[in-house]
Structure 1
Amino acid sequence: MLLLLYVTTVSCVLFGGSSASEFFEKSMCYGRSLRLPFSFTPPLFNGQLYFTPKKGGSRKLVMDKDEAKDPRLQISIGSVELTDLTERDEGTFSVSVGDAMPYDVIKLEIVECAYKMYRNYGKSYSYTVPRQTEFVEFTPLHSEDLPRVLWNRTDPEANKGSRWQMKGFILAIKNVNQADSGYYNFRKKDNTLLSRIRLTVKENNRHYHTNVNERLLIQNPSFDATWTVTFTPAGEVENNTLMEAGNLVTDDRRIQIMPKGIEINPVNIIDSGTFEFRDQQGHLAQIVIVEVEDEPLPYVLHPYVYIAIIGGIIFAVVVCCCCVKKCCCRNSSSKRHEFAPETAAAPAVYYHDLIQPAGPVPDNSYQPMNSLVSGEPTTTSLEPSVEPLGGQGGYPSPTFGSDCHSSDPVPRFELKRQSIPSALPLVSDSTFCDVYTSDKLNFL
């Protein structure tokens, strides 16, 4: 049964069976291994394996039957594995049997899976390496060169005195610069990749904001070195060298070298721009951006602001005047309403000294029921006399429903009648009484 299965599989490969139509797209991390499908491993597969680089180049033979043509290719029964993948392994793998034309079976893409680390120029960096690490490799960024060995456990003193030091299981780098940017591989004795990091070293950045005629000190990077400083004015592309290898090369007397940096005194508007500090190897250590402004002018308001303020003041005055006028009118009106009822409530008493015409009293006049006319001669006083109601005492206030007339036994003629308001009907129960007293009518 096993022999039949083997014959069937080989027949499918040789005669373009279903396995010939298989095509795989794979993405693998840097340093990992690519395992070929089982149908392309010996003894099932007895042909050739080719590789065509993605970045261009001729096709090359990788495996011929069960013989490896690449030292990284590991072949065994039922297994074919390409170890330690790099960017050079990106491309297409194809197979052929006998004199048949090769056909593509695998398209490989290498993915960067390294841990990303960042440090500023001049700082220190340390990393704890895996315990099984036997050697450390380094490849600069954007370089296609083969990695070089920084440290090997079999010869730990090989890098003594350099900036790279292995202390136990810690890799330390002092005063990093752009030359230290790259990939660090930590491998086992059999070249198996244990860990991979990507270190990026960036320049320091400073920003100064100052005014014309002030003093400006641009500080150097954090440690002592001989710097080359260039200046690019704002809005321009070309730069000018101010200092080279620690020596001042400009003729501008305003610029002086100080122990901690470069002094510009006094600052001018033309000093706005970008200053770059580089070390002796040309590595960019620091970028300084300087912004210089003219002396501030006194603050002047826009004419429209003044117009708005004046308009606001006029509007406020008008509103205040209207409010005051309205309050005064309201107070005077309330005072009139307070005194009006008291005046109307008091009875009106009229004293007439005019002589009324003789003759009978009109029918519509009110005749007092208790008036007494005496036939005997009497003596009357020239002063008007009014007898208080109810006998003796003052003048009491009239009450609702009262008679308004008093019976006085003193012999005199007294005409008393009720005054009828012109605006009210003639009723006998009016609450207001008008008393007229006249000595001129005492003719009896």
Structure 2
Amino acid sequence: MLLLLYVTTVSCVLFVGSFAEFFEKRMCYGRTLRFPDTYTPPHFNGQLYFTPKKSESRKLVMDKDEAKDPRLHISIGSVKLIDLTERDEGMFSVSIEDAMPYDVIKLQIVECAYKRYRNYGRPYSNTVPRQTEFVEFTPLHDEDLPAVLWNRTNPQGNKGSRWQMKGSIWEITSVSQADSGYYNFRKKDNTLLSRICLTVKENNRHYNKNVNELLLIQNPPGDATWTVTFTPAGELENNTLMEAGNLVTDDRRIRTMPKGIEINPVNITDSGTFENRDLQGHLAQIVIVEVDEPLPSVLHPYVYIAIIGGIIFAVVICCCCVKKCCCKNSSSKSAPQTAAAPAVYYHDSIQPEGPSYSAAPAPNNSYQPMNSVVSGEHTPTPLEPSVEPLGGQGGDSAPTFGSDCRSSDPVSKFEPKRELTPSAVPHVSDSTFYDVYTSDKLNFNFL
């Protein structure tokens, strides 16, 4: 007897040691949890418990090979919990021979649904999987059992509602916050095919107006009876302007229109937030209005005149600058280079009769030695009296202009006043030009 008790105790210790492994699992909503083989028949012949995350009450889900939860499927070598939900999040524990249970699996449910967003009053549609037999809906933040919106066995069960199945298209004609939640598309055996999370948001509008202008606040999309409240800017308490489609304000500036509410004229006190809600209290629209004081109208013409005057002034200045630059460049390019005229000296105020001769043009590249002078003494002809050069310089010719930079002004050459033929003009090949000096004292009469 003692030997049998010893063997039993050792066997329990070894068995518990073999099952001491602990698992942490993260599973998507609607998926299936499969337990390790060590907790499946025929290896395991004990109890399986579950403690929810939000509760400390432990419940029995499997006793040996008998399932205590309809979603727990047991077979030889397999134990699985199907269609997981948030309610399955918690701790699983096992017990051997009614011993103290110990934890073996910690399960966390994560949301893997496809997220979709729509504004209030807009339509929504989705293509459903081919094997879909029914559609479930669970509102946001609600863990109650989902409601069946459509079932293939009774396709007309939702006739007249906003949810319709058209072929393989699931459609909602006009969404509101009541449609925010999870949509499950399941097979006939309750297997989850697809899951969508739809979130409906309110519409937002923004108006900027000046004092004394007209303001029309448009209604949200959709056919509903609206309740409109107004919260002035900087305040927390709201005022009801319209309730269930009827105006309840005494402000004569406000009136209902087919497309919304009209305020004419607006003033500064109309700045604030307007909200539209349907009869169920769902927020359909938020409108922010900002009303500003307009600028004094007397300033407008002066502003425009100043701007136009500034533009004209800038254009005139630019044109003057351009014209001045163009004229300056044209004058510098077209000015000719004028040569200096030879100097002519007159002894008396009365000019002598007879022709005078100007200096011959200077050659371009004439070479003359330093201090070169025209050689020879001028010998008068029988008909020409002997005249000494001015200044008593003798009979030598005036030095020529050449490369001698030290030479002074050329000596004037005197000629008698008479009729000369071109062949009789004295020719000096080395001179560049010479001055012509005429005088009445040298005016001789020749026979």
What TM-score, normalized by structure 1, do the two folds share?
Answer: 0.71
The counterpart of 2:406, out of the listed 396, 421, 424, is: 424
In the alignment, which residue of structure 2 is the partner of 1:342?
340
How far off its partner does 1:395 sit? 6.0
Contact kept? 1:384, 1:438, Cα under 8 Å:
no
Equivalent-residue separation in structure 2 for 1:215 and 1:46 (angstroms):
81
In the alignment, which residue of structure 1 is the partner of 2:37?
38
| Unpaired runs of at least 5, structure 1 | 1-9, 354-382, 389-393
In the alignment, which residue of structure 2 is the partner of 1:154?
153
Equivalent-residue separation in structure 2 for 1:36 and 1:66 (angstroms):
13
Residues 414 and 289 (structure 1), Cα distance of their counterparts in 2 relative to 1, 3 Å cut:
same
In the alignment, which residue of structure 2 is the partner of 1:361?
none
In the alignment, which residue of structure 2 is the partner of 1:412?
385
In the alignment, which residue of structure 1 is the partner of 2:104?
105
In the alignment, which residue of structure 1 is the partner of 2:419?
none
How far off its partner does 1:351 sit? 6.7
In the alignment, which residue of structure 2 is the partner of 1:241?
240
Residues 407 and 338 (structure 1), Cα distance of their counterparts in 2 relative to 1, 3 Å cut:
farther
Q: What amino acid is aligned across from residue 115 of structure 1 in structure 2?
A: Y
Equivalent-residue separation in structure 1 for 2:345 and 2:397 (angstroms):
12
Equivalent-residue separation in structure 1 for 2:160 and 2:231 (angstroms):
38
How far off its partner does 1:67 sit? 2.3
- Structure 2 matches for 1:32-181, cutoff 5 A? 32-98=31-97, 100-181=99-180
Q: What amino acid is aligned across from residue 192 of structure 2 in structure 1?
A: L
Equivalent-residue separation in structure 1 for 2:288 and 2:120 (angstroms):
17
In the alignment, which residue of structure 2 is the partner of 1:370?
none
Equivalent-residue separation in structure 1 for 2:361 and 2:238 (angstroms):
113
How far off its partner does 1:72 sit? 1.1
Residues 424 and 166 (structure 1), Cα distance of their counterparts in 2 relative to 1, 3 Å cut:
closer
1:267 aligns to 2:266 (yes or no) = yes
Equivalent-residue separation in structure 2 for 1:92 and 1:78 (angstroms):
22
Contact kept? 1:215, 1:265, Cα under 8 Å:
yes
Residues 266 and 63 (structure 1), Cα distance of their counterparts in 2 relative to 1, 3 Å cut:
same
Contact kept? 1:418, 1:433, Cα under 8 Å:
no
Equivalent-residue separation in structure 1 for 2:138 and 2:288 (angstroms):
33
How far off its partner does 1:255 sit? 0.9
Deviations 1:110-133 (A, max 9, x none): 121222222322233333323322
Equivalent-residue separation in structure 1 for 2:95 and 2:124 (angstroms):
50
- Structure 2 matches for 1:222-241, cutoff 5 A? 222-241=221-240
Equivalent-residue separation in structure 2 for 1:396 and 1:89 (angstroms):
128
| 1:39 aligned counterpart, secondary structure | helix
| 1:179 aligned counterpart, secondary structure | helix
Contact kept? 2:359, 2:433, Cα under 8 Å:
no
Q: What amino acid is aligned across from residue 387 of structure 2 in structure 1?
A: E
Equivalent-residue separation in structure 2 for 1:439 and 1:176 (angstroms):
128
| 1:16 aligned counterpart, secondary structure | helix
Q: What amino acid is aligned across from residue 54 of structure 1 in structure 2?
A: K
Equivalent-residue separation in structure 1 for 2:345 and 2:435 (angstroms):
7
Residues 259 and 415 (structure 1), Cα distance of their counterparts in 2 relative to 1, 3 Å cut:
same
Equivalent-residue separation in structure 1 for 2:273 and 2:145 (angstroms):
37
Q: What amino acid is aligned across from residue 386 of structure 2 in structure 1?
A: F
Equivalent-residue separation in structure 2 for 1:397 and 1:196 (angstroms):
113
Contact kept? 2:137, 2:184, Cα under 8 Å:
yes
What TM-score, normalized by structure 2, do the two folds share?
Answer: 0.71
How far off its partner does 1:271 sit? 0.8
How far off its partner does 1:195 sit? 1.6
How far off its partner does 1:423 sit? 7.2
How far off its partner does 1:419 sit? 5.1
Contact kept? 2:359, 2:435, Cα under 8 Å:
no
Equivalent-residue separation in structure 2 for 1:242 and 1:265 (angstroms):
15
Residues 225 and 415 (structure 1), Cα distance of their counterparts in 2 relative to 1, 3 Å cut:
same
In the alignment, which residue of structure 1 is the partner of 2:220?
221
How far off its partner does 1:36 sit? 0.9
How far off its partner does 1:148 sit? 1.6
Residues 406 and 97 (structure 1), Cα distance of their counterparts in 2 relative to 1, 3 Å cut:
farther
Equivalent-residue separation in structure 1 for 2:220 and 2:212 (angstroms):
25
In the alignment, which residue of structure 1 is the partner of 2:17?
16
How far off its partner does 1:213 sit? 0.8
Equivalent-residue separation in structure 2 for 1:398 and 1:154 (angstroms):
127
Contact kept? 2:50, 2:93, Cα under 8 Å:
yes
Q: What amino acid is aligned across from residue 14 of structure 1 in structure 2?
A: F
Deviations 1:186-215 (A, max 9, x none): 222221112211222222222222211112
Q: Which moved more, 1:113-122 or 1:261-270?
A: 113-122
Equivalent-residue separation in structure 2 for 1:133 and 1:387 (angstroms):
130
Equivalent-residue separation in structure 2 for 1:287 and 1:395 (angstroms):
105
How far off its partner does 1:268 sit? 1.0
How far off its partner does 1:244 sit? 0.7
Equivalent-residue separation in structure 1 for 2:124 and 2:278 (angstroms):
19
How far off its partner does 1:430 sit? 7.8
Deviations 1:15-50 (A, max 9, x none): 414x52x33222211111000111221211223322
How far off its partner does 1:142 sit? 0.9
Q: What amino acid is aligned across from residue 160 of structure 1 in structure 2?
A: K
Contact kept? 1:415, 1:436, Cα under 8 Å:
no
Equivalent-residue separation in structure 2 for 1:272 and 1:280 (angstroms):
26
| Unpaired runs of at least 5, structure 2 | 1-10, 390-395, 411-429
Equivalent-residue separation in structure 2 for 1:167 and 1:92 (angstroms):
43
How far off its partner does 1:248 sit? 1.0
Residues 406 and 60 (structure 1), Cα distance of their counterparts in 2 relative to 1, 3 Å cut:
farther
Percent identity (aligned): 67
